[in-house]
């Protein structure tokens, strides 16, 4: 057993959403793919289909991708109704054809949400996430003004939990999977990561208020505690962070009303 991988080839049909541009009408087009090596990723299959389309003089399918190793968060295919495809905890670029049956019809769509308008074909514009981040997803520290790193001990358990949250790759699968198109798992991951660190305490209240309110303004929906987001998350970010977000948001709101200089001055 040198390489326990199957070399089976399969044939599938890709049913791909094609849309020429923002606001343009779109529809599904079928692309049969024969003799597909099952160790190919679905993005690699799209590469092959695109080269064939190019030679036929048709426009290739636009799809977002970059690192192709599940870390940059660029790839964003809705595959058979689940963001990133049938497997748990992987991004589209890590979805291999061995996950599909021979003869399957694979429906590929872009991530859809009103705050993620379609740019073209399978590409949607997720810059709304950047705007949420700009609203408060940071710890204010001037370059050069930091104390020695070991002067701020962080309990290991907190650091680990913060890292669990920080593993978010910002792909938007949570939004795409949520029936309400809520960005709450994304926001919760950011807020929890920074809120779990002692460094993040001074801005903890203002951060959570700003980020949630910005997500609302951008038109994302609300959470109904169904967990579709974390089930679709390529990093399996836990739904529990949303609970933490709710707690932070509510306590920040109450503190801002009842404590004299509350906003931004709390540490616990």
Partner 1 sequence: MAKLDSRIPPGPLAEKWRRHKAEIKLVNPANKRKYEVIVVGAGLAGSSAAATLGELGYKVRCFVFHDSPRRAHSIAAQGGINAAKNYQNDGDSVYRLFYDTVKGGDYRSREANVHRLAEVSVNIIDQCAAQGVPFAREYGGLLANRSFGGAQVSRTFYARGQTGQQLLLGAYSALSRTVGQGLVQLHAQEEMCDLVVIGGQAKGIITRNLVTGKVSRWAADAVILATGGYGNVFNLSTYARGSNATAIWRAYKRGACFANPCYTQIHPTCIPVSGDYQSKLTLMSESLRNDGRIWVPKRKEDCKKDPATIAEEDRDYYLERIYPSFGNLAPRDISSRAAKRVCDEGRGVGDSGLGVYLDFSDAIKRLGEDTVRERYGNLFDIYHEITNENAYRTPMRIYPAVHYTMGGLWVDYNLMSNLPGLFVLGEANFSDHGANRLGASALMQGLADGYFVVPYTVGDYLASQKPGSRPSTDAPEFKQAEDNVTSIITRLLGAKGTHPVSHFHKRLGHIMWQYCGMARTREGLETALKEIPKLREEFWATVKVPGSADTLNQSLEVAGRVADFLELGELMCRDALTREESCGCHFREEYQHPDGECKRDDANFAHVAAWEYQGAGTDPLRNVEPLVYEAIKMSMRNYK
Partner 2 sequence: MSLIGNLFCSTVGRKFLMAVTGLILVGFVIGHLVGNLQIFGHPDSINGYAQFLHSLGPLLWITRIGLLIAAVIHIWAAIALTRTNAQARGAQHYGVNRWIRAPFASRYMRLTGFVVLAFLAYHLAQFTLGYASSATFKGHLPEYTMASDFHIFGFPAVEKGHAVDDVYSMVFYGFQNPIISIFYILAVGLLTVHLLHGFQSVFHSFGWYSASWAPALRAVTIIFCIGFFFGNAAMPAAILSGWLKPAQGTNVAAQPRTALNQSP
What number of H helices and E strands is found in the chain?
8, 7
In the complex, the smallest distance separating the C-beta of residue 129 from partner 2, rounded to whole angstroms, is 14
Task: Return the C-alpha torsion angle 47, 51, 53, 57, nearest 10.
Answer: 150
Rg (alpha carbons) of the chain, rounded to whole number: 21
Structure tokens at 32: 């049969």
Residue among 209, 159, 215, 161 nearest 189 (CA): 161
Options 70, 85, 110, 136; binder of ligand FES; rule CB under 6 A = 70
Residues 231 and 228: their CA atoms lie apart, in Å, by: 5
Helix (H, G, I), strand (E, B) or coil at 243: helix
Binding mask 205-224 for ligand HEM (x = CB under 6 A): -------------------x
Using CB under 8 A, which of the segments 66-74, 103-111, 225-233, 246-254 binds partner 1? 66-74
| Residues 98 and 6 sit within 8 Å (Cβ to Cβ) | yes
How far, CA to CA in Å, does 90 sit from each of 93, 95, 103, 145? 8, 7, 23, 38
Q: Which is nearer to partner 1, 34 or 179 (CB)?
A: 34
> Which partner in ligand FES, partner 2, ligand HEM, none is near 71 (CB below 5 to 8 A by kind)?
ligand FES
In the complex, the smallest distance separating the C-beta of residue 143 from partner 1, rounded to whole angstroms, is 4
Q: Does 66 bind ligand FES (CB under 6 A)?
A: yes
Structure tokens at 72: 């940059």
Crossing angle of helices 184-195 and 204-217, in 10° steps, is 170
> Which partner in ligand HEM, ligand FES, partner 1, none is near 224 (CB below 5 to 8 A by kind)?
ligand HEM
Options 257, 260, 261, 268; binder of partner 2; rule CB under 8 A = 257
Binding mask 83-112 for ligand FES (x = CB under 6 A): --------xxx-------------------
Q: Does 81 bind partner 2 (CB under 8 A)?
A: yes
Residues 11 and 20: their CA atoms lie apart, in Å, by: 27
Name the site residues for partner 2 (rule: CB under 8 A).
15, 17, 26, 28, 78, 80-82, 107, 109, 112-115, 118, 177, 179-182, 184, 209, 212-213, 215-216, 219-228, 231-232, 238, 240, 242-251, 253-254, 256-258
């Amino acid at each position: 057993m040198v390489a326990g991988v199957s070399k089976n080839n399969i044939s599938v049909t890709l049913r791909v959403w094609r849309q020429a541009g923002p606001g343009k009408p779109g529809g599904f087009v079928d692309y049969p793919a024969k003799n597909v090596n099952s160790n190919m990723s679905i993005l690699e299959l799209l590469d092959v289909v695109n080269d064939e389309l190019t030679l036929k003089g048709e426009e290739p399918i636009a799809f977002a991708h970059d690192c192709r190793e599940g870390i940059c968060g660029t790839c964003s295919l809705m595959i058979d109704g689940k963001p990133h495809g049938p497997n748990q905890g992987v991004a589209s670029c890590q979805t291999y054809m061995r996950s599909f049956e021979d003869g399957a019809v694979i429906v590929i769509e872009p991530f859809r949400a009103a705050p993620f308008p379609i740019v073209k074909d399978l590409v949607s514009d997720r810059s709304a996430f950047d705007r949420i981040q700009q609203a408060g997803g940071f710890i204010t520290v001037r370059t050069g003004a930091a104390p020695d790193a070991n002067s701020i001990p962080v309990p290991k358990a907190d650091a680990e939990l913060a890292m669990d949250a920080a593993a978010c790759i910002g792909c938007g699968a949570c939004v795409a999977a949520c029936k309400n198109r809520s960005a709450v798992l994304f926001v919760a991951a950011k807020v929890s990561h920074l809120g779990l660190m002692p460094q993040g305490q001074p801005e903890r209240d203002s951060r959570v208020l700003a980020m949630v309110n910005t997500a609302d303004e951008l038109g994302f929906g609300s959470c109904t505690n169904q967990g579709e987001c974390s089930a679709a998350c390529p990093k399996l970010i836990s739904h529990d962070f949303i609970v933490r977000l709710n707690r932070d948001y509510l306590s920040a709101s109450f503190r801002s009303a009842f404590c004299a200089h509350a906003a931004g001055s709390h540490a616990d």
